[in-house]
Amino acid sequence: MRALGNSLLAGALQCLDTVLGRRVSVLTFHRVQPFLDPLFPLEMHAARFDALLTSIAGSFNVLTLGEAHEALTHGKLPPRALVMTFDDGYADNATVALPLLQRHGLRATFFVSTGFLDGGRMWNDTVIETVRACPKPELDLADFGLGRFTLGSPVQRRAAIDAVLPKIKYQPLDQREPWIAKLREAAGHPDLPDDLMMRSEQVRELHAAGMEIGGHTVRHPILTETADDQARDEILRGRAALEALIGAPVKVFAYPNGVPRRDYDHRHVAIVREAGFQCAVSTWPGAVRPGEDDFQWPRFTPWDAGDARWFARLVACRYGRRAAPQGAKP
């Protein structure tokens, strides 16, 4: 039954690409956990990812980002083109996602923030894991202007996480740490995992397996909240570290967080272009069409549970009308 569904999906996409023009759908993933996370039940996990890959393998021509850019540039883009990308550099990309990709004979592009490799942890994961591990029945977030949160269930812990994250997200890098310290103190300083992000050898393992490695800065700053010189250093130093690690050029880039104007703007597009990257991706929803700005390719995240919803939103993103990300232009 699933094979028939994939065949029908491939046929529908083939017809739409023929009538409306070929394009590339670029998917965004972050973690692929071994099992469903009760705090984040819509996040990708192994069983769900395996099912999604079955659909993708039977319906699309899957390329890496660099391959898609090359094909689009030279007018050789295949029909039903799709790219899978993974952001940040989570360890489960190597331990869970990679074996599943290999099982299905698929390749992907992995954007790695180098400052968190080998035992580091992103600030948002420190928030998440602090609230997850807090032994207290209640968390007092008065210092955040948020009051008290009961922690009796995963839903309640998730509510506390969702309240704290926006308070810190758009702080400059050097101002995030005091907020994190306040949260850790309020939660009683629970022990936190130090294996969420990849080790250096896992990045090399991905590269050796034929996966594409892309730049994603060093510390994942919001570039619009970062001084221009610091933003340039983050972009260039992150790429240099990856190239030294894998012994190969890094040609593609993903803007941290990735919303035009809010998270990056024309200054950062210029830095990436002048640095010699071939293309870069945002998180602006849509599909890549001929004539797309090479340094602002759109992407979308396949959150949907079930093939029907996933297909419907993919079609809407792939073929629907959308405004270009003008906000990143001067």
Per-domain residue ranges for the chain? Answer: 2-118+195-328, 123-187
Q: What kind of fold does domain 2-118+195-328 have according to CATH?
A: TIM Barrel (3.20.20)
Q: What is the dihedral of CA 113, 195, 85, 327, to 10 degrees?
A: -40
User: What pTM was estimated for this model as a whole?
Assistant: 0.94
Tokens of 321: 């009308």
What is the chain's pLDDT, residue by residue, as a tens digit (330 residues)?
A: 355 456 777 778 888 878 878 899 999 999 999 999 999 998 999 999 999 999 899 889 999 999 999 999 999 999 999 999 999 999 999 999 999 999 999 999 999 999 999 999 999 999 999 999 999 999 999 888 888 999 999 999 999 999 999 999 988 888 899 999 999 999 999 999 999 999 999 999 999 999 999 999 999 999 999 999 999 999 999 999 999 999 999 999 999 999 999 999 999 999 999 999 999 999 999 999 988 999 999 998 887 666 677 778 888 888 876 665 655 655
Tokens of 230: 């610091």
Rounded distance, CA 204 to CA 196, Å? 17
**Helices H / strands E in the chain, number of each:** 12, 9
